[in-house]
Structure 1
Amino acid sequence: MLCAGVILVIFSLTRNNKDTFRIWRKPSDVIQLLLFAVLGMVSVQFTYFYSISLSNAATATVLQYIGPMFVVAFYAIKNRRWPIVSEYASLFLAMIGIFLLVTHGSFDQLAISEAALLWGILSALSLAFYTIQPVGLLRRFSPATVTGWGMLIGGLAFIPFSEPWKFQGSWDFEAFAAFGYIIMFGSVLSFYFFSKSLTRIEASTASLLCSVEPLAAAGVAVVWLGVYFGPMDWLGTVFILVTIILLTLGTKEKKATAQSSS
């Protein structure tokens, strides 16, 4: 997060020189930025990686992507409205998908540990908070500015807990290459590509395309890391992917209804 934050802040400076530091002028913006950095950025990173350590990359990624359901629930409560049909269907399919993923269809035992399930759900909640909380900031500042400062502050805040000066394991070329891959491809470039897509396609379409991530994570984990993913795991993954698609289509439906009524 420290390295990716520095890169994104520098990138923001090259694109939005005044905007980069303007975010620090108002106390209310600073508070929102700190909340995003600590409760959003740090929590979504830590819970996700810890969930992987307790299960595997495929399961952790699929569990994290039930986060949109919490986003829908939040706005339903905030706006005091009942969910539409597609959102009810999404909730039903998400529950089935989680059940298949964590039990393999058995009512007697879990296929993953209780801790892995707990941290997977916490990862989804963190993703929901990460999605909702910075909306106000993103309306006034560039995504590179908000995310860059969020990563940098979050990385600094986590130093007392991570103690990066205490190296563990063997820091050989492969370890540095893997670490660099996480920084550039897992943080910097993934953010840049997504933000770039928003200038060419609608946000709902971009979100729908991002739903391929759980499937990609499952496929890579099976092929590259040798993780076993049985029929019930794949079926649960498909159910959760359909959940994300239905939520995206539901968002389009609500926008169309609002525009026609206005």
Structure 2
Amino acid sequence: MSMILAAAALWGLLGLFAVTLNAVGFDGQQVAILRILCAASLLVVGGRWLLRGVDPRVLAAHSPRLLLHGLIGVLGYNLCYFQAIDDVGVGVAVALLYTAPLWALIFAVLFDGESVTVRGVAAALGALCGVVVLLGQTLSSGTGALSGVLFGLAAGVCYALYPVLGRRLIARLGPDPVMASGFILSALVLLLLPGTWEALGRLAVHRGEWAIWGALLAMGLFGTLLAYALFTRGLRRVNASRAAVLATVEPVVAVLGAVLWLGERFSPTQWGGVVLILVSALLVAIPGRHRVSGSSPADPSPDRPPPRG
């Protein structure tokens, strides 16, 4: 249990590290690019053990699916999430990200034939109300708010698609190789884009500024690799539904950090929207017994909660 809580807390700190980079001129897209490159570099240098025991021919055979999984679940998620942080702040961005369990529930119904649950319907309505409340309040805050809300919701969709696209890959290769390949393949794609070299050039200007390099390293090492390692190993001792509940520590840490450390302020209405979304995520995470149809509760991730990319 402690491993799951520690992983969730580390993920909750990602937004705070990102704001450090935003403050010196890196936009959300550049922060996402640098995080992926940092994590991929650490994996290449010191994470070969993650691919231990995996036949390279098997990886090559699954490369199209691994690439799609990486582009959506890793690259797409990071670009959308960190852009949302840049546009609307950590608190609102992480609340919108946590619509992911609801998207996962929808995907489970559409793609896996899961039946609709009473909890699922209540959670969907609660999350919808929470998003509407946040949208109304955030739009009144100024420029970039609408795009930030849309990016936050898109991050939730990409997060929810991680297990949908990766379920067969994880069953065949294991979670560690799938995570490692997602970051490495995403980094290789990014190296083909001019924006990546612009971000690296801007980072080079800040050489010797240890606060900036420390924030980037913390995102790659602690907020990505260590958090993922703790989470996957914690799942060996905690069942998936309980882990999903424990993982909601992440938005709590993120919101409290945004308020206490960054000085972000929420109106009572915005707090209501955040609470609605988090309660809705918990409704999905905690198995229910009463169903509209079917015999067992819909689980957005039958094997494990979706690991953060």
User: Which TM-score tier does this pair reach, normalised by the shorter chain?
Assistant: 0.7 to 0.9
CA contact (8 A) 2:118 2:290 kept: no
Single out whichever of 140-149 and 77-86 deviates more from structure 2. Answer: 77-86
Task: Work out which of the residue numbers 216, 238, 250 in structure 1 matches 2:253.
Answer: 216
**Could you tell me how far 1:212 is from its partner in structure 2?**
1.9
Name the CA distance, whole Å, in 2 between partners of 1:16 and 1:241.
35
TM-score when normalising by structure 2: 0.74
Tell me the TM-score normalized by structure 1.
Answer: 0.87
Q: Which residue pairs with 2:229 in the alignment?
A: 192
User: Any stretches of 5+ residues in structure 1 without a counterpart?
Assistant: none
Distance 1:258 1:70, change over 3 A: closer
| Residue equivalent to 1:177 | 214
Equivalent position SS for 2:127: helix
Q: Which AA in structure 1 matches 2:284? A: L
Task: State whether structure 2 residue 106 is matched by structure 1 residue 73.
Answer: yes
- The alpha-carbon deviation at position 230 of structure 1 amounts to 2.2
Task: State the identity %.
Answer: 25
Question: 1:21–1:3: structure 2 CA closer, same or farther, 3 Å change rule?
Answer: farther
Q: Which residue of 1 aligns with 2:202?
A: 167
1:217-253: CA deviation from partner (whole Å, max 9, x where unpaired): 1100110011112222222111111111111123787
Query: Are the structure 2 counterparts of residues 126 and 252 from structure 1 closer, same or farther at C-alpha, using a change threshold of 3 Å?
Result: farther
Amino acid at match of 1:149: S
**Corresponding residue for 1:59?**
92
Distance 2:116 2:250 in 1: 25
Corresponding residue for residue 85 of structure 1: 118
Distance 1:10 1:145 in 2: 15
Unaligned runs of 5+ in 2: 1-35, 298-309
1:212 partner amino acid: V
Equivalent position SS for 2:200: coil
The aligned residue for residue 176 of structure 2 is: 144
Q: 1:8·1:147 contact (CA, 8 Å) conserved in 2?
A: no
Aligned-residue Cα RMSD (Å) equals 2.5
- Matched with 2:38 is 3
1:18 to 53, 64, 73: 53
Per-residue deviation, 1:15:
5.8
Deviation at 1:103, TM superposition (A): 2.0
Answer whether contact 1:12 1:20 (CA < 8 A) is retained: no
Q: Say if 2:67 is the partner of 1:31.
A: no
Task: Count the aligned residue pairs.
Answer: 253
CA distance in 2, matches of 1:15, 1:50: 29
User: Conserved in 2, the CA contact under 8 Å of 1:84 and 1:250?
Assistant: no
In the other structure, the counterpart of 1:135 is 167
Instruction: Point out the more displaced range, 212-221 or 164-173.
Output: 164-173
1:8-29 superposed Cα distances (whole Å, 9 cap, x missing partner):
4666643652226354242xx1
The SS at the match of 1:120 is helix
Structure 2: how far apart are the matches of 1:189 and 1:82? 36
